[in-house]
Structure 1
Amino acid sequence: MASESLLNQDPVIYHYKLIRKIPLRPEARYSYITTAVMGIGAITAIYRWQGLLSTLIGFLIMTAIHAVVLRLTLRRVDEPSMKRWAFRYDWPWFGPLPVMDTTLWLFRRLHFHLFIVGCCIVGLLYPWAHSSLLVSLVYWHFWLLTPRVTLLFNMIGEKGDGVLRLSSDEVSYYHR
């Protein structure tokens, strides 16, 4: 009788149902890296050595901007999730991204903020920065966001309360 009463209580167990699994093809990763090399080559061809230096500095600055913006936005929006985000190096996931499961609404919100704030920071630097650095900052901003925005376009129509799991081979989307 006691075991029946324990079974009738609602236990706190999370059940996840896999809704979508999006495979990341190796060709997409290679093309992503190739576009980085082509971007560096194009900026270097136009601006010479200053362009090469600007691409390196622009990459470091934009990566730092992404890290700071995501950290500040996470602190403001959902502080407990800060532990689930870290800097990742597995292609195409480069930069500050979730290393554990995260909700789709949080991923959408953070990347909307990241897109807007990144563009605004580049716009603020317009009067003072050299044109090669501005072109480089804009290029790296969009290059870093491309796989994430592509994922968000693939997730249009999905409920925001679902859970995303990013790996280097696939993206899994679950409902609770």
Structure 2
Amino acid sequence: MPPTPPSTQATFYQYTLIQKVVYNKLVLKFYLAIVPIVLLLETLLSGPLGLLYSAIALFFVLWIHFVVIRSVLLLAGEPIRKKWRFRRVLPWIGFLPDQYIGYRIFIRVHRHLAWLGLCVCLILYPWFPISFVTSSLIWHLWLIIPRQFLFTRFRKQPKHGLFKLTDTEMLYYKA
């Protein structure tokens, strides 16, 4: 049976892989080992209440990240529904792209996220216990570190490319 010709309505994407970064298992283990150390310090400094504040702060920071990312994407006119989802695989935890995404919009979103998340955590200081504010700052920084690592790895690449996150690697493509 001969192959059917492609439809005139079909869209074909041709991306060229420029750079591929595979996650180092040792670095991921170190990144994950930070969590129990921080939780132990929280417990020593604030008692059992420190663990409660830390757990609440994690969900609070994830929510702040979600709100900031969605807001920036809405203001930029970027599609959210099919391209972004909540991920739970190290090192990518939080609301992140699920498909190919423009590197420029990713940088824009995460620069806003880094600064606005930091500001929100610091604004809490007068009204919330210091343990909660500290936990919020630590969780925010812990979640932002892999994204900043991504920016340093791809800083020499042209900003008009596309990239994709997978569970085991970061891929940068030229469109």
TM-score (norm 1): 0.90
* Alpha-carbon contact 1:71-1:82 (below 8 Å) kept: no
Letter in 1 for 2:159: G
* Separation (CA, whole Å) in 1 of partners of 2:11 and 2:45: 60
Note if 1:150 corresponds to 2:149: yes
2:55 corresponds to: 56
1:43 corresponds to: 42
SS of the aligned residue for 1:94 comes to strand
Structure 1 ranges of 4+ moved more than 6 A: none
* Separation (CA, whole Å) in 1 of partners of 2:134 and 2:84: 28
* Separation (CA, whole Å) in 2 of partners of 1:75 and 1:58: 25
* Alpha-carbon contact 1:75-1:82 (below 8 Å) kept: no
> Alignment identity in percent?
32
C-alpha offsets along residues 3-55 of structure 1, whole Å, 9 cap, x if unaligned?
xxxxxxxx964321110000101112211111111111111111111211111
Report how many residues are paired.
Answer: 166
Q: Which runs of 5+ in 1 are unaligned?
A: 1-10
Letter in 2 for 1:43: E
* Separation (CA, whole Å) in 1 of partners of 2:81 and 2:74: 7
Letter in 2 for 1:88: R
1:34 corresponds to: 33
How far off its partner does 1:79 sit?
A: 2.8
C-alpha offsets along residues 35-82 of structure 1, whole Å, 9 cap, x if unaligned?
111111111111111211111011010011001111111111133244
Closer, same or farther: CA 68–27 of 1 in aligned 2, 3 Å? same
1:111 corresponds to: 110
Structure with greater proportional helix content = 1
2:13 corresponds to: 14
Mapping 1:94-133, distance limit 5 Å:
94-133=93-132
C-alpha offsets along residues 70-96 of structure 1, whole Å, 9 cap, x if unaligned?
111111113324420110011111100
Letter in 2 for 1:124: I
* Alpha-carbon contact 2:70-2:80 (below 8 Å) kept: no
Q: Which runs of 5+ in 2 are unaligned?
A: 1-9
Letter in 1 for 2:46: Y
